[in-house]
Amino acid sequence: MSSRDDILGAIRRDRPAPLPLPDVPMFDEGRADDLLGRFTAAFTMMGGKMLDLPADGDPLAEIRARVAKAGVVISMVPEVAGNTVLDPELMPSKLENVDIAIVRAAFGVAETGSICLTERELGVNTLGYLAQHLIVLLDPADLVVNIHHAYHRPEIHAARYCVFHTGPSATADIEGVLILGAQGVRSLSILSLPRA
């Protein structure tokens, strides 16, 4: 037996018994009302744009109008057709020419105005960063109060890749000039639309 085995054996033998994790509160008391309103306020404060649902007619009309004027459009949702099919075997850097990407959020977080995207929603993870404009469909029933609730969602534990987006990419210099779309998507728009 080597010195290494002796040391590792001593560590295993003398390590303390595991302790249960502390009970962490969810910090949601009195915050479960008007989740969509709270989400919208936080999201727009971060530079995102909520798309309006028309009172009658096609709820996707505004998105379809944008898609009709765009070059390369990749849609990962059945509600809106793109004009380019995403190849899952594609090199992630090859998505640099995507004008509009349309995805559905796994869920949203009302407190922060964040949406959760996993590899299931994106197809290729860089789609959420290299597209010029990202349009997201979000079911209001998929909103949670805060990040504490978000970490209890099954999507977090089932995904190999999971990211929270809160508004478009942004940067600011010391003089306080905010530039949206500096390193990632230039715009992030959300349409509150229930799943089919």
Residue 181: predicted pLDDT: 75
Domain assignment present for residue 21? The answer is no
Distance CA(43)–CA(113), nearest Å, equals 4
Q: Where are the beta strands (DSSP E) in 54-186?
A: 73-75, 100-104, 107-109, 114-118, 133-138, 143-144, 162-165, 170-172, 178-180
CA distances from 67 to 95, 102, 117 (A): 17, 10, 21
Domain assignment present for residue 152? The answer is yes
Domain assignment present for residue 166? The answer is yes
Q: What predicted TM-score, i.e. pTM, was given to this entire model?
A: 0.86
Residue 107: predicted pLDDT: 98
CATH label of the domain that carries residue 167: 3.40.50.10420
Residue 186: predicted pLDDT: 93
Domain count, the chain: 1
Question: What string of pLDDT tens digits covers the 196 residues of the chain?
Answer: 789 999 999 999 999 999 998 998 999 888 888 999 999 999 999 999 999 988 888 999 999 999 999 999 999 999 999 999 998 888 888 899 999 999 999 999 999 999 999 999 999 999 999 999 999 999 999 999 999 999 999 999 999 999 999 988 888 777 777 777 778 899 999 999 999 8
CB 167 within 8 A of CB 47: yes
Residue 194: predicted pLDDT: 96
Q: Does residue 16 sit in helix, strand or coil? A: coil
Domain assignment present for residue 138? The answer is yes
Q: Domain range for residue 99?
A: 27-192
Residue 171: predicted pLDDT: 81
**Nearest CA to 45 among 181, 184, 193, 166?**
166
Question: 87 CB contacts (<8 Å, ≥6 apart)?
Answer: none
Residue 89: predicted pLDDT: 85
Please report the sign of the dihedral spanned by the C-alpha atoms of residue 58, residue 60, residue 63, residue 68: negative
Query: Which tokens sit at 96?
Result: 């640099």
